[in-house]
Amino acid sequence: SQQGEEDPQALSIQEGENATMNCSYKTSINNLQWYRQNSGRGLVHLILIRSNEREKHSGRLRVTLDTSKKSSSLLITASRAADTASYFCATPPSGSARQLTFGSGTQLTVLP
């Protein structure tokens, strides 16, 4: 079963614009992670935010976490064509031993 669900399922923007995707999850977590997957490739870890953090930055990425709403958002600023990929949020399922449950992903297309 999936713990996190991303929204929207697909997003198309112009190069230079900002992209925002959201993730909702069901149970309490101690951290939430975002991964990127280029077409036909493996996933790449982008950023991890702990449950006691509300916001985290990494380069052009900004992640927020609202544990009261059980939601997170990933903002990519000044998007580039190379940002075209699927983005997944991942959370440890309840009682897990070092596991992650992935959502269905947001397919981001950045048009040049």
**Chain contacts with another protein (rule: CB under 8 A):** 2, 31, 33, 35, 40-45, 48, 88, 92, 97-105
Residues 6+ apart with CB under 8 A from 56: 47, 48, 49, 62, 63
Q: What spatial distance separates the first Cα and last Cα of the chain, rounded to whole Å?
A: 36
By beta-carbon proximity to another protein, the closer residue of 1 and 14 is 1
Closest CB to another protein among residues 24, 31? 31
**Which phi and psi angles does 104 have, rounded to 5°?**
-85, -15
Q: Least distance to another protein from the beta carbon of 94, Å?
A: 13
Supply the minimum distance, in Å, between the C-beta of residue 32 and another protein: 10
- For another protein, which is the closer residue by CB, 14 or 52? 52
Both structure tokens of 112: 């040049």
> Shortest gap between Cβ of 13 and another protein (angstroms)?
20
Q: Are 3 and 23 in contact (CB under 8 A)?
A: no
